[in-house]
Chains A and B, each alone.
Chain A
């Protein structure tokens, strides 16, 4: 700052300081009153925005800020502040004049035109509720409409009518259309003397008709189109209209038919099916010179892209007797094919690496532009590696034709493409320096750098570093920061010193955070998601993330966060406007599930695979944002119409056969009630309490479960989440298909099992879409522990590890490779169980003491692993997989403690929403986790169709077993299994 300027500023500051002395004379505020439409009003939001304080001297700055805050609410058109004597000081009166936004449009009077048409014109230009301030423009737009439609004397008088409680306004348009003009006279001028005389009927406009500009334009368009269809591509027809005092309109139509245009081609041939595209005279309805010159170039480009390097095209116009013949003369010349592509002059980058960048290959037509792109790509690579002066020159050398030969097939010639690199010196970054920074330290700025001393210099790196500095400052509230990099090359361009000049500008601070629009949601719930707080910098990222977090609450239909400048740029009010979603949600739906399942058939109840279709439906009702704290309750019910298998007696005889083989009914259902408490105890964790009633039909048994569960989950960044849960459940099995000999070791000991268990889940998910991803990976670890000390009847530990990866392959069509691996291992704790007789009582030994079995490493059926079906190994029916140890003698799976499932699938799009997939699946279920054996994995391969529906992919898969075995003695497995389902398999 110069001495003179400093002196002046000091003088000004003195004056400002003197203002403090004057404040001694300012009156004391003894009372504050807020009024709206003549009434005192009490509103906590408004009270919180008033900066003036009772008991303190009047501050005009506080008055101004209060006005700014109140205006920020978007509720007031005017805020007037008045002072009046009160006691020993003054009373401040804030008079709020509410905004009356227009929410209705009323059309009154004699419209003449349909109400819907007038509204449409207004809505298209000004929206459904035009601002009151644009009422005049609305009237002008309607006058233009009426004039166009033949009402030259129409009058439109806008009027804004305010209503109260709520404060709204109606834009009333009083319209007097007046009489409609008719076409009194029609004059037709034909510019081409050779034209025959046109009659009104020829152009579809008749005297006596009501005047309608749009109708006249349409008639002329039709007339022009009909002529163009006959080759008169240059036809023009325009009109003017004059409204006469007698209420008629005189319409003058000027027609220039122009010549009949014929397009001809001479010289070398062009494919017939390309001519219309390359010479769009008919499509454009024009034969003007610009279009013809463009057509010359288009033909040349077309030929050059096919190797005709020297292609030349010109056109001529010949007009005679009203006929215009446009002749394109094509000289395509010799076709050049690439014989070789070589790189020379490169030392720092190997030739194969450079050639990979070149979109040209041996055998392709030689295209000069492609060679140029190759040279540019190579140059860019060099520059990214510090060769700031690198240049790549492309040349094509025509190889002489072999003696006596034409040089190639059909007279083609070969060219050798040579890309010559002049690398120049390599520039390394010498020093990186900063100036003008006061907020960030040198160390902080260096940490943002994408380059450093000693690294190759790259303009791209410098630009990236500048952007990172810029964003860092903006995140700290310096929204007008300017970062200018300055690069100085030295030592024969082998060194680049980079200096970033930073003009930080003022820091913007959040003044007030004003939240409006919430009626049920508490301010605290909204504030908890906001990263912008009063007195803190207004950061760019914080604002974006705040908006995302509020939207993610699911409580609002719409969330906007606006900055409201006031008293300069250094402070902003933040206006958070929310529109709450309905608190109650109801959903219902239905569908059909199809799949192959195991069914007991024959006298022995042996397993047979059978395709079944099960109609299903669901109903859901939820209430969110309870007590304004984003708590939610939800009730979900799902039911399937499914057959329930017959029950076998101990000897394998059917006890119940009301239908030939099974009976249909609502045998599978699930009722789920949840309560969600977000951010419990002000921690980041959400808690979910769930009650479940579940009856399901499985291959080897059916079960009904009652479960209560409490779960706490927390997201750790965008990719990780962690959950812990406790569940208490009681499961009852019925319709077991285990043989009597299998029962003692399996579910006789768990006929009515009570399980109390703790579990944890850790998830890392980077997939870009939950329903149909094409990039990313997910890893999920679930670990469960059930123990008798916490009330469980059985004790076990269970681990389930899942990994998924999806990769989009580099192809023009969307092709996605999806891989999955799932591993499960469980171990049941040792336990002594009394043997139970058919009468349900313990069996006593000879000494009268109960006979007991020592059970180890067994789990209740509901906790065991099963595999096979549409989401695991698709050549098998649901739960069908198993080794000899986990398949009963009748062919039903009994589940096991070890599981392996591996999947690979290639998904591709076909047409529109239709896609296809091919897959290979493998896996098996083992009695114990330690029994795992790769040799016992069972494989399946198949293909399927996908339809991308609004609710996710609808999937049809047909899987084939790679090795077909006996399902039960004497009964082979089916070769293939069809699955119809929703969502991807994994």
Chain B
């Protein structure tokens, strides 16, 4: 989080820059940092800003797709709840984050709304666990016995079925989303800025 507290005495300091262009739209360094801080991107803890930038590109591509298909508008209360959850992730550093990245309340709400719309779109397109057949759930149970083994005892399928259904659905959805992203990336013009050292001071 050192980048949040630059020294005012620094001779020259990078404030922001274009990290990537997705079909002409810019993704900036502050976009990446704000998304990471707000927990918008599903990133492993050790992921750097380059990985975050890639995820933000994916998010931008999906958002363009969302705009094409217009899923149901999320209720304002849900948007407010999502925005609150995002700022809660930052904790006391919210004010500094806002100042450093140029975010404001409206923009946080927009990001929250985007997140909910993406979720609604993916649910609409790839369905939920209930759409899996019994055979598919059973197959997942057989392939992943470790998921259902507790204290060296494999739970019977009847007992493990709800968990197996959730896991199988999540696996299928992840695969479908990954394929979607590959397709979207194939169709889009993505230009990563060649000065690829994202962030850092000069």
A contact set with B: CB distance below 8 Å: 1-2, 5-6, 8-9, 11-13, 15-16, 18-19, 21-23, 26-27, 58-65, 67-68, 71-72, 74, 76-85, 92, 97, 131-133, 479-482, 503-506, 562, 564-570
A436's closest neighbor in chain B, by CB?
B73
Are A1 and B80 neighbours in the complex by a CB distance under 8 Å? yes
**Interchain CA distance A564-B21 in the complex, whole Å:** 12
Are A67 and B26 neighbours in the complex by a CB distance under 8 Å? yes
Residue B127 at the chain A interface, CB threshold 8 Å: no
Given A60-B101, A67-B18, the answer on whether A12 and B70 have CB atoms closer than 8 Å is no
B6's closest neighbor in chain A, by CB?
A83
**Interchain CA distance A538-B26 in the complex, whole Å:** 20
Q: Mark B102-141, 1 if CB is under 8 A from A, else 0.
A: 1111111011011000000000000000000000000000
A565's closest neighbor in chain B, by CB?
B25
**Interchain CA distance A480-B116 in the complex, whole Å:** 14
Which residues from B are CB-within-8-Å of A131?
189, 191
Are A567 and B98 neighbours in the complex by a CB distance under 8 Å? no
Are A19 and B99 neighbours in the complex by a CB distance under 8 Å? yes
**Interchain CA distance A562-B24 in the complex, whole Å:** 10
The list of the 8 closest CB pairs from A to B, nearest first, reads: A568-B110, A60-B102, A8-B84, A503-B73, A61-B102, A71-B26, A12-B87, A1-B77
**Interchain CA distance A2-B202 in the complex, whole Å:** 46
Are A78 and B110 neighbours in the complex by a CB distance under 8 Å? no
Taking the closest CB of chain A, its distance from the CB of B143, in whole angstroms, is 34
Taking the closest CB of chain B, its distance from the CB of A507, in whole angstroms, is 12
B100's closest neighbor in chain A, by CB?
A60
B90's closest neighbor in chain A, by CB?
A15
Question: Which among B70, B100, B111 is the interface contact of A568 at CB below 8 angstroms?
Answer: B111
Which residues from A are CB-within-8-Å of B102?
59-65
Which residues from A are CB-within-8-Å of B195?
78, 80, 97
Are A564 and B25 neighbours in the complex by a CB distance under 8 Å? yes
**Interchain CA distance A27-B100 in the complex, whole Å:** 12
Given A8-B85, A12-B108, A568-B114, the answer on whether A77 and B18 have CB atoms closer than 8 Å is yes
Taking the closest CB of chain A, its distance from the CB of B25, in whole angstroms, is 6
Are A82 and B202 neighbours in the complex by a CB distance under 8 Å? yes
Question: Which among B14, B98, B193 is the interface contact of A19 at CB below 8 angstroms?
Answer: B98
B11's closest neighbor in chain A, by CB?
A84
**Interchain CA distance A79-B8 in the complex, whole Å:** 22
Question: Which among A6, A16, A79, A132 is the interface contact of B80 at CB below 8 angstroms?
Answer: A6
Question: Which among B8, B94, B100, B193 is the interface contact of A15 at CB below 8 angstroms?
Answer: B94
A15's closest neighbor in chain B, by CB?
B94
Taking the closest CB of chain A, its distance from the CB of B178, in whole angstroms, is 20
**Interchain CA distance A5-B87 in the complex, whole Å:** 12
Residue B95 at the chain A interface, CB threshold 8 Å: yes
B193's closest neighbor in chain A, by CB?
A78
Are B189 and A133 neighbours in the complex by a CB distance under 8 Å? yes
Taking the closest CB of chain B, its distance from the CB of A96, in whole angstroms, is 10
Are A60 and B106 neighbours in the complex by a CB distance under 8 Å? no
**Interchain CA distance A481-B96 in the complex, whole Å:** 35
Which residues from B are CB-within-8-Å of A133?
189-192
Which residues from B are CB-within-8-Å of A569?
67, 110, 114
Residue B16 at the chain A interface, CB threshold 8 Å: yes
**Interchain CA distance A22-B100 in the complex, whole Å:** 11
**Interchain CA distance A565-B92 in the complex, whole Å:** 30
Are A567 and B107 neighbours in the complex by a CB distance under 8 Å? yes
Are A85 and B104 neighbours in the complex by a CB distance under 8 Å? no
**Interchain CA distance A479-B28 in the complex, whole Å:** 25
**Tally of contacts, chain A with chain B, CB under 8 A:** 171
Most buried by B among A26, A76, A480, A481: A480
Which residues from A are CB-within-8-Å of B18?
67, 71, 76-80
Given A16-B105, A19-B94, A67-B28, the answer on whether A97 and B193 have CB atoms closer than 8 Å is yes
Which residues from B are CB-within-8-Å of A27?
8
Are A16 and B98 neighbours in the complex by a CB distance under 8 Å? yes
Which residues from A are CB-within-8-Å of B80?
1, 5-6, 9
Which residues from A are CB-within-8-Å of B106?
568, 570
Which residues from B are CB-within-8-Å of A480?
67, 70, 73
Residue B52 at the chain A interface, CB threshold 8 Å: no
B117's closest neighbor in chain A, by CB?
A480
Question: Which among A22, A80, A566 is the interface contact of B17 at CB below 8 angstroms?
Answer: A80
> Can you list 30 A-B contacts (CB < 8 A)?
A5-B80, A8-B85, A13-B105, A15-B94, A16-B87, A16-B94, A19-B95, A60-B30, A60-B99, A60-B100, A61-B103, A64-B31, A67-B18, A67-B28, A74-B24, A77-B18, A77-B21, A77-B194, A79-B26, A80-B17, A81-B15, A83-B15, A84-B13, A92-B15, A133-B189, A133-B190, A480-B73, A506-B110, A568-B107, A570-B110
Given A63-B16, A570-B106, the answer on whether A22 and B99 have CB atoms closer than 8 Å is yes
**Interchain CA distance A968-B193 in the complex, whole Å:** 88
Within 8 A of A (CB), among B12-49: 12-18, 21, 24-26, 28, 30-31
**Interchain CA distance A21-B80 in the complex, whole Å:** 24
Are B24 and A9 neighbours in the complex by a CB distance under 8 Å? no
**Interchain CA distance A481-B72 in the complex, whole Å:** 9
Question: Which among A8, A97, A504, A506 is the interface contact of B81 at CB below 8 angstroms?
Answer: A8
Taking the closest CB of chain A, its distance from the CB of B31, in whole angstroms, is 8
Most buried by A among B8, B28, B104, B190: B28
Which residues from B are CB-within-8-Å of A63?
15-16, 30, 102
B96's closest neighbor in chain A, by CB?
A22
A11's closest neighbor in chain B, by CB?
B84
Which residues from A are CB-within-8-Å of B88?
8, 11-12
Most buried by B among A19, A72, A97: A19
**Interchain CA distance A131-B192 in the complex, whole Å:** 12
Residue B76 at the chain A interface, CB threshold 8 Å: yes
Residue B168 at the chain A interface, CB threshold 8 Å: no
Additional pairs, 4, CB under 8 Å, beyond known A9-B81, A22-B96, A64-B28: A8-B81, A11-B87, A131-B191, A569-B67
B104's closest neighbor in chain A, by CB?
A61
Q: Mark B54-76, 1 if CB is under 8 A from A, else 0.
A: 00000000000001001011001
**Interchain CA distance A21-B85 in the complex, whole Å:** 23
Residue B83 at the chain A interface, CB threshold 8 Å: yes
Question: Which among B94, B99, B110 is the interface contact of A23 at CB below 8 angstroms?
Answer: B99
B19's closest neighbor in chain A, by CB?
A78
Q: Mark B163-184, 1 if CB is under 8 A from A, else 0.
A: 0000000000000000000000
Are A505 and B73 neighbours in the complex by a CB distance under 8 Å? yes
Which residues from B are CB-within-8-Å of A132?
191
Are A26 and B95 neighbours in the complex by a CB distance under 8 Å? no
Which residues from A are CB-within-8-Å of B113?
506
A504's closest neighbor in chain B, by CB?
B73
Which residues from B are CB-within-8-Å of A78?
17-18, 193-195
Which residues from B are CB-within-8-Å of A8?
81, 84-85, 88
Are B26 and A5 neighbours in the complex by a CB distance under 8 Å? no
Which residues from A are CB-within-8-Å of B92?
15
Given A8-B88, A77-B18, the answer on whether A83 and B191 have CB atoms closer than 8 Å is no
**Interchain CA distance A567-B67 in the complex, whole Å:** 15
Which residues from A are CB-within-8-Å of B13?
82-84
